[in-house]
Amino acid sequence: MPKKKDYNDYPGKGRPTLYTPELADEICEAIASNKEGLTSLCNARAHWPHPSNIFIWLRRYSDFREKYAQAKAEQVEVSINYMQEMMEEPHLFVDDNGNKRVDVPMLRVKIDAIKWKASKLQAKKYGDNKQDEIKTDLLDESLKRKHELDEKNRKEF
């Protein structure tokens, strides 16, 4: 059985990065199948690096960056499913009179947060279409203006 890597085995200062494709795959699979954030996932798994190291890996390893982006896109679907489950189950609290009531504001806040996250991570599928139309119109206008200026300023050589 191979010896487990220990931080004391490395010369030099600082905590070493223990990037392996296997660990990268494990991280991406956990992200894709879980609604929790990266910090919670890292805290629950002692053999994972600190989230800041994972962000360094994202800059350093293009294959990990692609897998991570795909995992985050898949995580949106998990979050959407969780949102649907929340809508079906009652969120009850007991008021001052001892009556059970549905906590509508808390439910709304949770759902809005999930919708916002989905709109940012998968804008084409869950984003605001009006913003896309505005961006397209502005792009078309700016390209048209650029061509007009190019024609006006073109010199014959």
* In contact, 127 and 119? CB cutoff 8 Å: yes
> What's the CATH superfamily of 7-153?
Homeodomain-like (1.10.10.60)
Which pTM value belongs to this model? Answer: 0.54
> What is the spatial distance between Cα 115 and Cα 119, in angstroms, rounded to a whole number?
6
Strand (E) or helix (H) holding 47:
none
Residue 118: exposure state from Cβ atoms within 10 A (0-12, 13-18, ≥19): buried
Along the 157 residues of the chain, how does pLDDT read in single tens digits? 555 554 445 555 544 568 999 999 999 999 999 989 899 999 998 889 899 999 999 999 999 999 999 999 888 888 877 877 776 676 777 788 888 877 777 778 877 877 887 777 777 777 776 555 555 667 778 888 887 877 777 765 4
**19 Ramachandran zone, left/alpha/beta (phi>0; psi -120 to 50):** beta
Backbone φ and ψ for 18, nearest 5 degrees, come out as: -110, 45
